[in-house]
Amino acid sequence: MAQQAVFQLMVVAAAVLILSGCTQMSRQSADLATSLNAGGLVGATPATLSSAFGPPALRRVDGTAQVWLYHSAVCGLNLILYPDRSGMPRVALAVPDNGDPVSCTASLRRDLTDAALEHATSS
């Protein structure tokens, strides 16, 4: 029940920000790794998120909004996506549950976690 209330609050907050025109979606950085390490997820597309983090642990669709949840040993990352003017979903709000977007996104990056999980082959 508390999770539902938090989710609803996050959706309402994101909707207010977007509808009021107080925020503008930033352009996607050409250097994906630098952008994600800096916590610059606002404006990222689903393709960018999937290539950087893989599939989300949970994806929820609420009307035109999407909520993507990622989890690592360091944090959980809640991403709320809304369509831009062309209809492309983009991250409007990124909320790491540990309060540190840099360490959270770094712990979720697919290129780092895949390399850490690789095992040397024996000959």
How many CA atoms within 13 Å lie on the side-chain side of 83?
8
Above 50 in pLDDT, residue 78? yes
What is the average pLDDT value for the chain, to the nearest integer? Answer: 73
Residue type (1 letter), 116: A
Burial of 114 (0-12, 13-18, 19+ CB in 10 A): exposed
Above 60 in pLDDT, residue 81? yes
Above 60 in pLDDT, residue 13? no
- Model pLDDT for residues 18-77, shown as the tens digit of each residue: 544 434 333 333 344 444 544 578 999 999 999 888 999 999 999 999 999 999 888 999
Above 70 in pLDDT, residue 11? no
